[in-house]
Amino acid sequence: MLELLKAVLFGIVEGVTEWLPISSTGHLILLSEFVTLQVSPEFQTMFDVVIQLGAILAVVVLFFYKLNPLARGKTPAARQHTWQLWAKVIVSILPSGIVGIALDDWMEEHLYNAYVVALALIVYGVAFLVVEKRNQGKSARIQDVQNIDYRTALAIGCFQCLSLIPGTSRSGSTILGAIILGVNRAAGAEFSFFMAIPTMLGASAIKLLKFLASGVSATGQELAILAVGCVTSFLVSLLVIKGLMEYVRKHSFSVFGIYRIVLGALVLLYFSIR
């Protein structure tokens, strides 16, 4: 029962931090420093990524009509726009897919630690403050996700490559990139959510295959932990995504920049004196 409660905690952290621009991977790494699951190291590595499947399902549920080109009631033009949206999403994930597959093992070995997470939190926290101050009072060039062109989609995808560094945040790097490229916050956040579906499915598939190839078998308890974590992240993500979309229509991301800087500084302080 204690292990399942820990899984709930991991699911809550994943569901909240996956969509806010504050780094889910970074928070899960930090949480693991204080809350230890009684699982094998191979399962823990897989769990930290595959738990994202619950969060992905939340995006599919909330945006099902918009993402489904075969939805009833859509006109031929609307169906075409949906197919084009998916094509842009696929284009946008190509850069991180190529870099991620090539460098996954190296980054896992060298970058997955609290110091890298802390520095990434601070650097991109400052970046959010600078970009938001620069754009204050300016009108974005692209106001709707449907108006994002292929070139802009690819450029946003290049920003997503930065999220391969733990602590950066996938949503944070893509939303920040979208804002820099002239996309308004709401459209940038929505496109970032759509990019998450194939990105996180691919990352989860890679981790699952590596886990299976390791020859380590998951116990019944470990499978229960994974299931509870995924369900929790799904339920929490439903609330967080809705709340974030409402928030970004009226507010800037500066508060998340401040949060990142403060958290990064606290992490550096903690691991320097412990």
> How do residues 25-45 score in pLDDT, each as one tens digit?
778 878 888 888 898 888 888
Write out the residue range of the structural domain in which residue 183 sits.
2-273
Residue pair 219/37 in contact by the 8 Å Cβ criterion = no
Residue 114 pLDDT: 82
User: Per-residue pLDDT for 274 more than 80?
Assistant: no
Residue 242 neighbours by CB distance under 10 Å: 13
**Residue 100 contacts by C-beta under 8 Å, 6 or more apart in sequence?**
161, 164, 202, 203, 206
Read off the pLDDT of residues 155-203 as tens digits, 9 standing for 90 and up.
999 999 998 888 888 898 999 999 999 999 999 999 999 999 999 898 8
**Structure-token pair, residue 144:** 């709707």
Read off the pLDDT of residues 72-128 as tens digits, 9 standing for 90 and up.
889 999 999 999 999 999 999 999 989 988 887 788 788 888 888 899 999 999 999
Distance CA 92, CA 115 (A): 29
Question: With helix as H, strand as E and coil as C, how does 203-248 read?
Answer: HHHHHHHHHHHCCCCCCHHHHHHHHHHHHHHHHHHHHHHHHHHHHH
- Among residues 213, 158, 204, the alpha carbon closest in space to that of 181 is found at 158
Bridge-partner residues for 183, per DSSP?
Answer: 142
Residue 250 pLDDT: 85
Q: How many domains does the chain have?
A: 1
Helix (H, G, I), strand (E, B) or coil at 183: strand
- Among residues 59, 82, 13, the alpha carbon closest in space to that of 242 is found at 59
